[in-house]
Amino acid sequence: MNINSIFKPNLFAGKVAIVTGGATGIGAAITQELGYLGCDVVIASRNEEKLNTATEKMNKNPKVVGNISSIPCNIRKEEQVQNLMHSVVKKHGKVDFLVNNGGGQFMSPAENISAKGWNAVIETNLTGTFLCCQHAYHEWMGNNGGTIVNIIANIFRGFPFMCHTAAARSGVDNLTRTLAIEWAEKGIQINAVAPGTIYSETAAANYTQDVFKEARKMQPTWRLGTPEEISAIVCFMLSPAAAFMTGETVRMDGAEGLYNCFKKIPQHNKLPAWKWN
């Protein structure tokens, strides 16, 4: 796999990062670029087979300077998150960067989402992100500082057919701002990236091609984003160039959020105007 970066070689030499969901899609792009820049990266997800395959492939790439390793972790399980953070610090002696990329959702009208489906998405995308932040704080960053980047979604005009993840990602957006204030005195920076529609093999396997076809129509750019474009902004946020940046969410959506909406409302009279009698 070809890997490159707009940043200087060895920018992150001697640094240690954790990337949740780092075996596939956006997470894999982030992991590879960090490794290319000299960072040692620990990737974490529930699927141990995918983790092993990804780490083997990345470490064989001569462009990956840092070491890529993995620890299975379901971020919904606090004891597993605690083990992840403890194991990384025990092995590497520290954790400089945390990229909360792990998450998941499914398309469904709100009225059809079961309580089980709702809870699964909220627990993964919101609670899981919180647990990773909290235990990174307790294990290392609270005493030594660090940088956290949360990957959310383009939820700022609502997210039809994805209300569960819209609620969760909105929560992470506010969590990012809140922790930036609470943890500033600890030397912790925390920012978020809100990707628009990003095309990857992983995304293509989870959604129909019609979704991507319609998404292109909503793009002023008339193209979808790439995982590498998200990786680049994450690396910027982790770099010294972003030293004065914290509590921010950056939209990486090609102006999709300014242009159109996936949900088209048919003509109706279900919301009549209210008037004085």
Mean pLDDT along residues 159-173: 96
Q: Can you list the domains of the chain with their CATH numbers?
A: 16-259 (3.40.50.720)
pLDDT level of residue 266 (50, 70, 90 thresholds): confident
Looking at the DSSP bridge assignments, the partners of residue 70 are: 43
At residue 177, φ and ψ (nearest 5 deg) are: -65, -40
pTM over 0.75: yes
Looking at the DSSP bridge assignments, the partners of residue 195 are: 252
CA angle, residues 247, 251, 257, in degrees to nearest 5: 135
Q: What is the pLDDT of residue 211?
A: 80
DSSP alpha helix (H) spans, the chain: 25-36, 48-60, 78-92, 115-122, 128-136, 142-144, 163-182, 201-206, 209-217, 227-238, 256-259
On the CB side of 182, CA atoms within 13 Å amount to 11
Q: Print burial letters for 14-41: b (CB count within 10 Å at least 16), e (below 16).
A: ebbbbbbbbbbbbbbbbbbbbbbbbbbb
Q: Tens digit of pLDDT for each residue in 8-53?
A: 999 999 999 999 999 999 999 999 999 999 999 999 999 999 999 9
Q: What is the pLDDT of residue 204?
A: 74
Q: Look at residue 218 and tell me whether its pLDDT is greater than 70.
A: yes
101 vs 4, higher pLDDT: 101
Q: What is the pLDDT of residue 265?
A: 79
